[in-house]
Chains A and B, each alone.
Chain A
Amino acid sequence: MKEKKARKRPEFPPPKKDKLPPFVCDSLEKAGLSVKDAVFCCAGDMDNSQCYCDTRVFFDPKGLYVIFGEEEHPEPRKLKKHKAMPRYRVNTVVSIPAEDIDSLETERYASTGRLIVRKNGEQRPVTYFSLGLIGDFDRLIVAFNSFKETGEAKIRENPDEKNVCKKCGAPCPPGKDYCRRHAKTGGTAVRLVKFFGGYAPQIAAVLVMMILSSVTMIVVPQISTRALYDNVLANPDGKPVNEMLKALGTLVLSVVGIRFLRTLLEVAQDYVSAAVMPRVIYDIKLKIFEAMQRLSVSFYSSKQTGSLMDRVMRDANNIYWFFTEGVPRLIIDVATIIGVLFIMFRMSVRLSLFALISAPLLLLTLILGDRLFRRMHHSVWVHHAKLGSMLSDNINGQRVIKAFSKEDDELGRFEKTSMDTRNAEVKLGVTEATLFPLLEIAVLMLSTVVLGYGGIMAVRGESGMTTGTLLSFIVYLEMLKEPFGFLAWISNWWSRCADSAQRIFEICDAQPDITEKEDAVSPDKIEGHIQINELEFEYEPARPVINKLTIEVAPGEMLGIVGKTGAGKTTLANLIARLYDAKDGCILIDGIDVRDLKLDKLRKNIGLVSQDIYLFIGSIADNIRYAKPDATMGEVIAAAKAACAHDFIMKLPDAYQTRVGAGGQRLSGGERQRISIARTIIQNPGILILDEATAAMDTETERNIQHSLAMLTKGRTTIAIAHRLSTLRDSDKLAVIDEGRITEFGTFDELIDKKGEFYRLYDIQAQALKTIGIGEDEPKKETEETEDEKNED
């Protein structure tokens, strides 16, 4: 009902958030505020004392205007019938002349944001807003500040405006017309069914077999009950015993034959389903995996690995079980209900109507019971999930628990959570134990009443009612119980399946943030000339990570980047590799914007060696030739030698065929890093990014790796990000980054002579190394941690 009501609602036009709606303009004009020169507008939801209201903020060449008011939206019915318009009531207007504003800025609090005006270093608060609107206010400040600076407002594209729900105007997933709240499950069902399109003959065969199976089930009581009682046991024609026994034998054989036929049909149906369903699930899993490979890094950063694996495995299985178990049963049950009702009405219309009067009541009881149980089942599920998390937490943290001698405390925590789970289960069990017999009694009472009424009809001989007819009628009535119960429950099962399907389609439909232009170029060779101009980037609105950064690296040059954690070093590397797109500014490679380059060309020419070394499951040789699968064994050995990996590889029993990755040979951090360097050497990229490639290693190991890195960087444009400043001594240029800006730039010697931040960091580090007894010119024997030891650490 509610869905129907929702469908009647008028469709929203996509809101233009940077323009004032006409009804607001009218109200403002009436209040004496001219909006004709408004440059940019944004809507807020709070006033300056954090009370909810409908705030509008806009600016024109004269200044900034903040209007606190209330919007009144007429009922959707009135909106359609009487063409009633929304109204805006102005409560307060705050206007700040343009000359009193140097710039606008936002501050981010726990749950709100605040718009602030800055003049001569002084701050003046303007209004609060919910944190969800910070993106809109960020666009306002960019527009205002650029307008103030250049006389032209820089209006950033609003990603939310591209795709809004036709029902409510809320942002919705790319490629969709409706938000998740108003998405229609019917559409999901149609898309799911399309997966079965390639198996139409098999599905048709299964359907026919299911219907035949239902027919065989319905026919049995006609023979085993009605014919048995009325034609054999009652012996209406007074035939001899032998003849009656013969008739009885025929009946029994018929029943056996029908049951045998039914079993055959079920086996055949299961056989075809077993052949079709895994293929459909294979298609679905392949489609998800294919879509996941297409998506950008940001998609993976915003989702947990577990949740993604769930989608590939559990969600696909949810669909599998619904279509393997649920749909066949649904078809059989619907066919059974239709068939049984048809036979019941053929037997006695009066008795059927009498029986069906109470059926809605029974159905209602089943639906209410289902709702109650769903809630209780969810509660049990939630408690189990908590218990599971706690158990996993405990197992993973065993070393810490033992080190702190916290076994008893952990036991206490587990006991409490376990007890909560137990209580939830007891509550569910008790409710089930109480309600199920009551439901049984209700069904039994219905049968008894029908039996009583039918009995009266049989005694009176009304409507041709016989003992056999009555008994088979009762059997048919019983046969309806399970299908009706299933129908009351299947909606829940379908909603779970639709949930899973929707999650799967969300991945399939997701658009990668990084897309290749249609006219993207693919130069023959990339020299490695990098120019970064006024680069700006943020992961979250109003939290800039890279802030107007400009830098240039000549081909073959090595640029060292230094800075604190969170300064934006890795982000910069990711932006060069176009794993993310900049918010503003640009990165040029050989004079071409990275956004205009073919992604394949760009990525093949950028080699990334990071501290997070990932080796895939397979042999060492497979891992080294990952970037170039057709590399000869000679190339693999040459790369391994250049990366100083050949010697240790040859000491392994299976040498280059040693299996690594999960469950494979244990290698030390340094060994794994050398394999990853060999992998990059074989890629032969024009540009190399070393993102703290040796940060996870001890100083001695790092020194041994340095030689491999030196081989790798030879003749390539290199951007080296490192914590240990001594490793950047060979850099042609060094940049110190702080809060996304370059604070110092120059050669190693220049920065040391400058005695600034770089010198300070270098000095602290040199002293620290001296304290632990590591001199710069005393290379020591490599002492590396094994992979396991590292993980344990």
Chain B
Amino acid sequence: MKTDDIQTISPETLQTEYVSPSHCIFSLTEYGFLSAEINGKKFGRVILTEAMPLTMPDKYICISDIEKKEIGIIEDISGFGEDQQKLIMSELSQRYYSPVITEILAIKEKFGNFYFDVKIGEHKKNFTVKDISKNIRNHGEGFDLVDIDGNRYRITDFKKIPAKSRRKLEPYLY
């Protein structure tokens, strides 16, 4: 048995601490970072991470302190009040922000690299995707594209982008 395995099975780690909305209040620090008071204990800055970012962005959200130590898990943010939900979603949308592709202008393949010319809103952007079968990931109705620098781009709903764009991407989709 390895050292870290032994650490992993310590009871406090094994126990899932679900945070009850009634015992958790989020607020913003002076510079706009999220802070929280959980079970009466104040945390200067907390970090929220999603357990299922692709399909359940508003469920199973892990709250950690600045040292990345887990404080607890929010099972579903719907239990929080409207203002609190806004704070949570705002923090998550910043952390999980992906530019949304609204139109695909061109996809060119050269030497195994795929060069995408796309529109993100009104902004034109080009990026390169390598190993296309692995770097275009399906999630529900849309896709996530990961370029060679690790940047992610999102197509939220494949059916809603222009037909021309769909035709350009279709041959490369699994």
Contact = CB atoms under 8 A, between A and B. Distances in A.
Interface of A: 50, 52, 109-112, 122-125, 128, 130-133, 180-181, 183, 375-376, 378-379, 382-383, 385-386, 498-499, 502-503, 562, 564-565, 695, 723-725, 761, 764-765, 768-769, 772
Question: Which 9 residue pairs are nearest across A and B when measured between Cβ atoms?
Answer: A132-B149, A111-B152, A502-B111, A723-B2, A124-B31, A564-B4, A131-B150, A723-B3, A379-B171
A764 B152 CA distance: 42
Given A50-B97, A52-B123, A768 B1 contact: yes
Given A503-B112, A564-B3, A52 B120 contact: yes
Contacts of B16: none
B111 A180 contact: yes
A110 B152 contact: yes
A718 B168 CA distance: 58
Contacts of B96: 109-111
A310 B57 CA distance: 38
Contact of A109 (B97, B112, B128, B170): B97
B53 interface: yes
Interface of B: 1-4, 6-7, 30-33, 45, 53, 94-99, 108, 110-113, 115, 120, 123, 125, 128, 133, 147-153, 170-174
Given A502-B111, A503-B112, A761-B7, 8 more contacts: A50-B97, A109-B95, A111-B96, A111-B153, A180-B111, A180-B128, A183-B111, A562-B3
Nearest to B3: A723
A382 B171 CA distance: 8
A458 to B, nearest CB: 49
Contacts of A382: 133, 171-174
27 contacts: A109-B95, A109-B96, A109-B97, A110-B97, A111-B96, A111-B98, A111-B150, A123-B31, A125-B32, A128-B97, A131-B149, A180-B113, A181-B108, A181-B110, A382-B174, A386-B133, A499-B111, A502-B111, A564-B3, A564-B7, A565-B2, A723-B4, A724-B3, A725-B3, A768-B1, A768-B6, A772-B1
Contacts, number: 106
A133 B150 CA distance: 10
A131 B98 CA distance: 11
A498 B111 contact: yes
A773 to B, nearest CB: 13
Nearest to B31: A124
Given A52-B123, A125-B31, A181 B113 contact: yes
Contact of B110 (A128, A180, A564, A768): A180
Contacts of A765: 1, 3, 6
A376 B170 CA distance: 10
Contacts of B31: 122-125
Contact of B94 (A109, A383, A724, A768): A109
Contact of B112 (A125, A499, A768): A499
Contacts of A130: 149, 151
Contacts of A375: 171
A189 B95 CA distance: 46
Contacts of B147: 132
A110 B32 contact: no
A112 B98 CA distance: 8
A503 to B, nearest CB: 6
A627 to B, nearest CB: 29
B171 A764 contact: no
Nearest to B132: A382
B4 A565 contact: yes
Contacts of B151: 111, 130-132
Contacts of B6: 761, 764-765, 768
Contacts of A768: 1, 6
Contacts of B128: 180-181
A594 B3 CA distance: 31
A133 B151 CA distance: 10
B53 to A, nearest CB: 7
A764 B4 CA distance: 10
Contacts of B150: 111, 131-132
Contacts of A52: 99, 120, 123, 125
A717 B35 CA distance: 49
Contacts of A125: 31-33
A317 B128 CA distance: 27
A768 B5 CA distance: 11
Contacts of B108: 181
A132 B128 CA distance: 12
Contact of A386 (B7, B33, B110, B174): B174
Nearest to A377: B171
A441 B112 CA distance: 36
Nearest to B6: A764
B133 A123 contact: no
Contacts of B170: 379
Contacts of A133: 149
B122 to A, nearest CB: 10
B7 A764 contact: yes
A448 to B, nearest CB: 36
A180 B108 CA distance: 12
Contacts of B1: 765, 768-769, 772
Nearest to B173: A382
Contacts of A50: 94, 97
Contacts of B97: 50, 109-112, 128
Contacts of A565: 2, 4
Contacts of B2: 565, 695, 723-724
Contacts of B94: 50, 109, 128
Contacts of B174: 382-383, 386
A514 B95 CA distance: 36
